[in-house]
Structure 1
């Protein structure tokens, strides 16, 4: 009997050694903070799978906890400062929520620059490496990307022409589109995405500019009747997203864990996540279609008129860059050319 007990103990000890070698205790804990609910594309199809992959490739040495819907406190425009200051280790945010703070980033938010999310996200990362590193010097960018081009989603009034936009109150996502809507004769109403459903339901706005991807988790398609899409291969707008890490936290990591993060950053990730955002538009559009909502397209002469009307927004951005001692026209041309490069 003692012989069997002794062997059993040896087996347990042996197994314990194996378990001890194969299961690593986390050396680093990372808190990820963002502003959308957990069912949203950003959380479910990007941040959570990304975190799972990083944890797996670190052999459990990195542990990542995600806090959606501003669970760590604050408001969406504060997310950049939260990651800079170490309130969160990583954030996913919209730089454009802080007006005028990231002027170079706005180039892809100018009218008719953005193409698909896949192309524009890759273009954005290459543009960041060439021009924008100083703009984000206070953090460690993991990814800069965009959503698919946004469309108009209207409560009670279809938009079929430039004239239809006059005297409407439209939720605008970025400073540049605020400017474009003002030029057209609409009244832009700036607000983060989570505020849109209430604004639509209470009639604070007549409509919103959003990608279809986010209309589904917000249930915005249930609050509007009309959708107007922009023809052609470039959208009237997109929004830039930043997925960034606290600089000191990144710098404190051992080289091999930095490499794990680096392997899940940059251009390849931009391509992958751009594809995710392009695909995510389809369920949102289908949900609106199933509700019997009406769809319109601005194309032909009306599209040409819209491009002409919004050209001053582009001119103003180029001038602002020139005033800062930069070559605004070259940066604008490079941004458009990069979208073309990654569209093929």
Structure 2
């Protein structure tokens, strides 16, 4: 698991009241820049809401909140405490086209045609042993109101736990794929980006390889993407940028663990040659970078020589809106790797 909190949190946190999800929409930065957004500070009210409620309120993921706030109670944040909402980030080092998923940060980036903005969504990904693979592929099917046909492997795993799955789960509120699904070409069409009836699983490593989104988020994404849209899935726990004004940033996430006993907060991170070159540059503050790699806060930290790399980042409100459209309803049978 990426975090020690994953299993316990997904089992113990209570469901929150339904609310409309919000896509987070950022203007694209100028050429040569990868920095978008600003972190926000949220003062926890005395409303007895759990961390999943706050994550959904800001359309982010639970693990992202835990990275940014490593001392927060994952079940019931203390009233009056301040939480950093990690809504500042560096764009992944990929073409700004179609859908980009960075597994290490459990985020999906969508670049609509026109090149003016990017939409960022949290998502759930494959659990340990059933990982979501890195790939470059495309959307080959858009499926509203999908049914779910469990694969043989899923049926066998469920049977071993004493759960007998039906041959087909019809479309509806109890369907593990939610109301919308996007099928990817690679993997024989087994990998999907879809909704879920397990709302607390978004932002965690819990699926059988597919990628889950909140209901409002998948509806917004589904309404915009076209058949053939490019999809790139990467695994970048370390992102970095030299901005046009000369500021140097590094953003470090906990890497995806490879076994049950690995601690993602302390396991060594494998750096690419380009990241190593950025770190070794004399304009980079080695102490600030070492601190960022140790802390793994999941948001950008400035690491220029002579700059205070540990200082709190500027916080501002983020422009948030929801995009929806009415879709033609049609039924289609869907077979996927994911079971919730």
Q: Is TM (by shorter chain) over 0.5?
A: no
What range describes the TM-score normalised by the shorter chain of this pair? Answer: under 0.3
Which structure has the bigger radius of gyration? Answer: 1
